[in-house]
Each structure stands twice: as structure tokens, then as C-alpha cells.
């Protein structure tokens, strides 16, 4: 067998890796953000509420007392109703718009999670 070019060698490595690669089921968004195996972050109440609304995680992660208080505040002060038992694109838009300083971090969580999920495929 002759000497392989760098391109052939790299292609062989990639092919071997793909053959032996077993895709794993990605974890959900909230676990990805909070787990020490991934981002190891502690989202604010608004951020965790946003993640649960955007990714429909209410059944797995029921609302915390702080999230329920935030939902009540949104309704009382801004007439924004978050209904946890249905999927509503307007709710998702309201939550994604956010308030004050949580938008940048939340957007970073979402972008990082999207890359993570793509890497698992």
C-alpha cells in the first residue's frame, strides 16, 4: 500500500469515525442549561419560564412557585396570559421578547442548545 495523502488520510479518519458513531438522544433544553454535564447555569425565573414555554416542558417540569408568581404578575400588570395547558405561538413570542437583561443570555442558551442538538444527529 502506498503513502496516503493528507486528504485521503483525513477522509479515512472521518469515515471510520462516522461508521463507529452512535447518535444519542439529546437531553431537553432545561436539563442542558442546568446540568453540570452541559452549561451548568442557574437560569432566572423568567429564563426558566421562557424555556418551559418555548420547549413545551410543563409536564416534565411543573411551574415553580416563583414561576407561578411571575405568571400572575404578567397577567396583573401587563394583561399577558400564559396558559400552560396549550401551545400558543403568541405566548412563545411574548416570552422570547423578554424583559431587560435576560434576552441575551436566553438567546445564548437557545443557540448553544440548537448546536448541541444538531451535533447529536
Q: How many CA atoms lie within 13 A of 51 on its CB side?
A: 29
DSSP secondary structure letter of residue 3 = P
Residue 15 burial (C-beta neighbours within 10 Å; 0-12, 13-18, 19+): exposed
Residue 2 burial (C-beta neighbours within 10 Å; 0-12, 13-18, 19+): exposed
pLDDT digits (tens, 9 = 90+) for 27-83: 999 999 999 999 999 999 988 988 898 888 988 999 999 999 998 998 898 887 887
pLDDT at 35: 93
CA 59/CA 74 separation, integer angstroms: 21
pLDDT digits (tens, 9 = 90+) for 99-118: 555 667 777 787 888 888 88
pTM of the predicted protein model? 0.65
Is residue 98 predicted with pLDDT exceeding 60? no
Amino acid at each position: 500500500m502506498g503513502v496516503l495523502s493528507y486528504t485521503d488520510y483525513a477522509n479515512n479518519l472521518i469515515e471510520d469515525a462516522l461508521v463507529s458513531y452512535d447518535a444519542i438522544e439529546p437531553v431537553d433544553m432545561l436539563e442542558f442549561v442546568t446540568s453540570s454535564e452541559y452549561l451548568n447555569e442557574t437560569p432566572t425565573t423568567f429564563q426558566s419560564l421562557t424555556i418551559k414555554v418555548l420547549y413545551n416542558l410543563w409536564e416534565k417540569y411543573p411551574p415553580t412557585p416563583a414561576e407561578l408568581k411571575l405568571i400572575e404578575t404578567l397577567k396583573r400588570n401587563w394583561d399577558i396570559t400564559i396558559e400552560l395547558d396549550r401551545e400558543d405561538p403568541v405566548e412563545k413570542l411574548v416570552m422570547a421578547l423578554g424583559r431587560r437583561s435576560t434576552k441575551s443570555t436566553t438567546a445564548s442558551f437557545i443557540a448553544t442548545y440548537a448546536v448541541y442538538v444538531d451535533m447529536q444527529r
